[in-house]
Amino acid sequence: MPAAPAAPAAPAAPVAPAAPAAPAAPAQPKHQSTPEVRERLTAVGAIANAISAEVQKVIIGKSHVIDNVLINILSNGNLLFEDYPGLAKTLMTNTFADALGCDFKRVQFTPDLLPADITGTNIYDAKKGEFTFKPGPLFCNLLLADEINRAPPKTQAALLEAMQEKQVTIGTVTHKLPAPFIVMATQNPVEQEGTYPLPEAQLDRFMFKMSVGYPDRADEDEILARRIARGKDAVDVDVITDPQRVIAMQQACEDVYVDPAIRMYMVEVVARTREDPRVLVGASPRGSQALLKTSRAAAAMRGRDFVTPDDVKAIAELAIAHRMILKPEHQIKGLEAGEVMQSILREVPVPTV
């Protein structure tokens, strides 16, 4: 008997189309600046670029040095150039003063220079029958302390209050210095005869310690070509800004955001200078504050409203190395504080933010 035909299979139930996946929520930034803050910092970056371009008309092939000087100025810090004669340290300082529209004074430090020669003194006025204060060259916006290590410690110490507190005390009266007030000092790393090494307390007052360095052949040729084209030594520099705007730029840097992870990165870098077996004296909290201020200034100069680890790494040696004292056995071997600083930067884990 033939088998009964199989019953037809029931039609498959229609499969409901899969619901479209919900779009991923955009990652929210940890910090969001206000439009006003971003606008101010963008303006800081634009003005900084204009100043840099103006200075580069005079100082050729040293854009990275010019940027670091700008970072120092935006941080309202003092700067120490340690370099050989003839490398445009004085010219760079003077050019910055012109571009910033700031009052510039130069003091040549010598063994017979007295504190009153730079701070000023009280002079008796016979007509009025009283003493009046005559300000010294310290009362300016940008002071070049040329060959600062040639003056005796007493004169060097006269700068301490001015560099840290932006004021000088003559007798019992305290005089505020003009704002902004920045000291750019120079010293020769080779000539030691007749010099007085800066004490650690004074070195710590400098935000950066840096060098200009020799130009390469192409840049030196460009220096000569421009000198021939000008037909004179002086270079005309346009005024880009003014002291009040410089102050506003410095204040704008306070709005740059620093992530807690980057803040701890700064703390760790500075703390390692105190723990390194090659270091006798590490950087103080003033060093970590310098790292904070200059990192913010570096970000602002690039128009950013936040600090990145690269900002910290780029300026750490300039801001910290001169605050370290190596142990004598390592100094004898020729080890430099900058080398120790670079090794610390390689060892400390970089945060991902």
Q: Which overall architecture, per CATH, does domain 35-255 show?
A: 3-Layer(aba) Sandwich (3.40)
Class of domain 256-353: mainly alpha
**pLDDT of 28 over the 60 cut:** no
Banded model confidence at residue 2, pLDDT cuts 50, 70, 90: very low
User: Phi/psi at 146 (nearest 5 deg)?
Assistant: -80, 130
Judge whether residue 346 has pLDDT over 60: yes
Q: Residue 307: which residues within 8 A CB-CB, separation 6 or more? A: 256, 257, 258, 259, 262, 295, 296, 298, 299
Residue 151 scores a pLDDT above 50: yes
**Which among 13-22, 30-39, 199-208 has the top mean pLDDT?**
199-208
Specify the 3-state DSSP secondary structure of 229.
Answer: helix
pLDDT top residue among 30 and 113: 113
Q: Is the preceding omega at residue 178 within 30 degrees of 0, hence cis?
A: no
Provide the pLDDT for residue 353.
73
Helix, strand or coil, per DSSP, at residue 237: coil
Average pLDDT (57-76) is 94
- How many Cβ atoms sit within 10 Å of the Cβ of residue 263? 17
Tokens of 352: 């991902």
Which tops the pLDDT comparison, 190 or 165?
A: 165
- The pLDDT value recorded for residue 29 is 45
- The tens digit of pLDDT for each residue in 99-117 reads 999 999 999 999 999 999 9
Provide the pLDDT confidence category of residue 140 given band limits of 50, 70 and 90.
very high
Residue 160 confidence (pLDDT): 85
Residue 173 is predicted with a pLDDT of 86
Reference 31, options 353, 254, 313, 269; nearest CA is 353
DSSP tag of 172: T
Q: Quick one: how far is CA 223 from the chain centroid?
A: 26
Residue 294 phi/psi, 5° resolution? -75, -30
Asked if residue 128 has pLDDT above 50, the reply is yes
SS3 state of residue 342:
helix
pLDDT value at 174 more than 50: yes
Across 256-275, average pLDDT: 95
Whose CA is closest to 96, among 121, 126, 66, 136? 66
Tokens of 305: 């409203």
- Res. 75: pLDDT tops 60: yes
Residue 133 and residue 167 in contact, taking contact as beta carbons nearer than 8 Å: no
User: Domain-by-domain residue ranges, the chain?
Assistant: 35-255, 256-353
* 170 pLDDT tier (thresholds 50, 70, 90): confident
pLDDT over 90 at 310, yes or no: yes
Quickly state the pLDDT bin for 191 (edges 50, 70, 90).
Answer: low
Across all residues in the chain, what is the average pLDDT? 87
Indicate whether 350 pLDDT > 60. Answer: yes
d(Cα 307, Cα 310) in Å, to the nearest integer? 8
Q: What pLDDT does residue 144 have?
A: 93
- Give the pTM: 0.86
Residue 197 has pLDDT above 80, yes or no: yes
| Residue 23 scores a pLDDT above 80 | no
Average confidence (pLDDT) over 71-92? 91
Q: Is residue 1 pLDDT above 60, yes or no?
A: no
Helices (H), 166-204: 200-203
Yes or no: say if 225 and 160 are a contact pair by the CB < 8 Å rule. Answer: no
Q: Using a pLDDT cut of 70, give the percent of the chain over it.
A: 90
